[in-house]
Amino acid sequence: MKVLYLTKYTRMAGSSRMRSFQYFPYLEKAGIQPVAKPFFDDAYLRDLYAGKKNIFSVLKSYIRRFFVLFTVFRYDIVVIEKEIFPYLPAFAEKILQILCVKYIADYDDAIFHNYDQSRNPLIRKFLGNKIGKVMKYSRVTVAGNQYLADYAVKSGAGKVEIIPTVIDLDRYTVKRDSISENENFVVGWIGTKTTFEKHLLPCKKWIKEIQEKDPDIEFHIIGITEDMDLGNHIRYIPWTEKTEVEGILKMDIGIMPLEDSLWERGKCAYKLIQYAACGIPGIASDVGMNREVTIQNETGFLVSSDEEWINRIFELKNNREERKLLGMNARKLVEEKYCIQVTAERWCNLLGMKRTL
């Protein structure tokens, strides 16, 4: 059985790596042959991460994807990550439906809000319901959380499955001790420059206040390499796939601030799942799927104000046993719901249902 994965990115990008590429070894063991055809290549991603725009690279991506569509009949099922052509109407997905090409649409973000909440009135008018159509035309829509699943149901998707974005337990070891190896208490965050600027940078005031109150608290920011003026007790650490778990294991607690917006309600709380997989409690904004991963007083704390961020961080710094208990509970939750060892079987079963899709 052959499956064509129309991913948005190569495995260099976290979303495609977690939603598609990490499953390939499990699919192959189940007798399923996955073939990935990313829309954007590594060169585009390197430019993107460097803040560069390459129009030629984007145009090449559209042309490459167009010719890939002529190969769909070689496969039993097609898995579309988000959409076939960004910022174009859902004509390609409609053609697949007309030609009886079975496809599964997979979502880990509220990408539909790129269109229906766009500042550009033409985008809202002509593409506002695009993703809803992609979902409706699909044989199955896979959603990373309930918010995305609700949108799929509302859009008329015939079959909707919720499969969260998960980690591989074999890569994530549990922190042996809730005290860092160095002398400082480490509050950690991991992400890209884009998410940093949107979610962590607005927290500058309370992050600096914590450092002023207690110089033994150090913040580790994984994924940022330049000084972003967050204070004197900040370590900016480059991200690599190989070293990300090692970096998380140096944290005592992990944080995930979010603004409360429609887009954030569709996020899959992946940072919190990473922290939890290492047995590290999380403190998170009381928004969206954060509520499912950070269970109040069980796996961590949900907060809604600067004062709560400060108080909860000091509470966990001063209570080693509480950190240990919350971390153990968090790891157990990941083992039960948020690891590929659980979800891989679901994907194998879903793809294996080709005759009934």
* 109 in a structural domain: yes
Other CB atoms closer than 10 Å to residue 287's CB: what's the count?
19
* 178 in a structural domain: no
Enclosing H/E stretch for 35 = strand 33-36
256: domain CATH number?
A: 3.40.50.2000
Strand partners, 222: 190, 237
The reported pLDDT for the residue numbered 352 is 80
Instruction: Write the pLDDT tens digit of every residue in 312-330.
Output: 999 999 999 999 999 999 9
Q: pLDDT band for 177, please (50, 70, 90 cuts).
A: low
Instruction: Write the pLDDT tens digit of every residue in 229-256.
Output: 999 999 999 999 999 999 999 999 999 9
Question: Are 138 and 211 contained in the same domain?
Answer: no
* 347 in a structural domain: yes
Question: Which DSSP symbol is given to 352?
Answer: T
The reported pLDDT for the residue numbered 299 is 97
Q: In what order do the strands lie in the sheet with 253-256?
A: 234-237, 217-222, 185-190, 253-256, 282-285, 300-303
Other CB atoms closer than 10 Å to residue 239's CB: what's the count?
19
Instruction: Write the pLDDT tens digit of every residue in 68-103.
Output: 999 999 999 999 999 999 999 999 999 999 999 999
Question: Are 262 and 324 contained in the same domain?
Answer: yes
* 174 in a structural domain: no
The reported pLDDT for the residue numbered 53 is 81
% of the chain surpassing 90 pLDDT = 90
Q: Rg (Cα) of the chain, in Å, rounded? A: 21
Q: pLDDT band for 356, please (50, 70, 90 cuts).
A: very low
Question: Are 130 and 274 contained in the same domain?
Answer: no
The reported pLDDT for the residue numbered 64 is 97
Q: pLDDT band for 48, please (50, 70, 90 cuts).
A: confident
Other CB atoms closer than 10 Å to residue 217's CB: what's the count?
20
Range of the domain at 86: 2-166+340-351
Question: Are 76 and 116 contained in the same domain?
Answer: yes
